[in-house]
Amino acid sequence: MSGDDLQAVCSVHDVADESAREFQVGDQAVVVVKFDGQFHAYLNWCPHLGIELNFMPDQFMDDEGRFLVCANHGALFEPENGHCLSGPCSGDALTAVPLEVRGEEIWVGRAEAPA
Ligand code: FES
């Protein structure tokens, strides 16, 4: 994918520290998370059952803001790399989405759709 395929989704100020928000990017639901001052993006797609992670809008983090969590069966994912640390998909990972910070804007691209 070339960098030209990215699109602006929000301002860096729209995602608070240690939190995450969902954006629709074309036909993909993308979760943008800010953790430890860095932004990361993943498909809103749990590797356990291939369904959305959240029940409530923009509720993706655990209470301490340390992990992304799947509301369905409680899997915990590292915000930095999407790796599942605990839960039924332990050892698997969220699907990373290309993300660039350009000035004050967050741009994301397309991920390869999971199999
Ligand atoms: S669907 Fe996410 S942990 Fe089961």
Give the distance (Å) from ligand 1 centre to CA of residue 2: 32
Q: How confident is the model at residue 5 (pLDDT cuts 50, 70, 90)?
A: confident
Give the distance (Å) from ligand 1 centre to CA of residue 94: 11
pLDDT tens for each residue of 14-53: 999 999 999 999 999 999 999 999 999 999 999 999 999 9
CA contacts within 13 A on the Cβ side of 49 = 11
Distance between CA 77 and CA 86 in Å, rounded? 8
Query: What would the two tokens of residue 28 be?
Result: 């993909």
Taking CB atoms and a 6 Å cutoff, what residues make up the pocket around ligand 1? Answer: 46, 48-49, 51, 70, 72-73, 75, 87-89
Classify residue 88 by its DSSP letter: T
Residue 3 has pLDDT above 60, yes or no: no
Give the distance (Å) from ligand 1 centre to CA of residue 103: 35
Strand order in the sheet with 99-102: 7-11, 105-108, 99-102
User: Which of the four CATH numbers 3.90.110.10, 1.10.3720.10, 2.102.10.10, 2.60.300.12 does domain 3-108 have?
Assistant: 2.102.10.10
Contact 60, 48 (CB under 8 A): no
Q: Please report the atom of ligand 1 found closest to the CA of residue 74.
A: 3
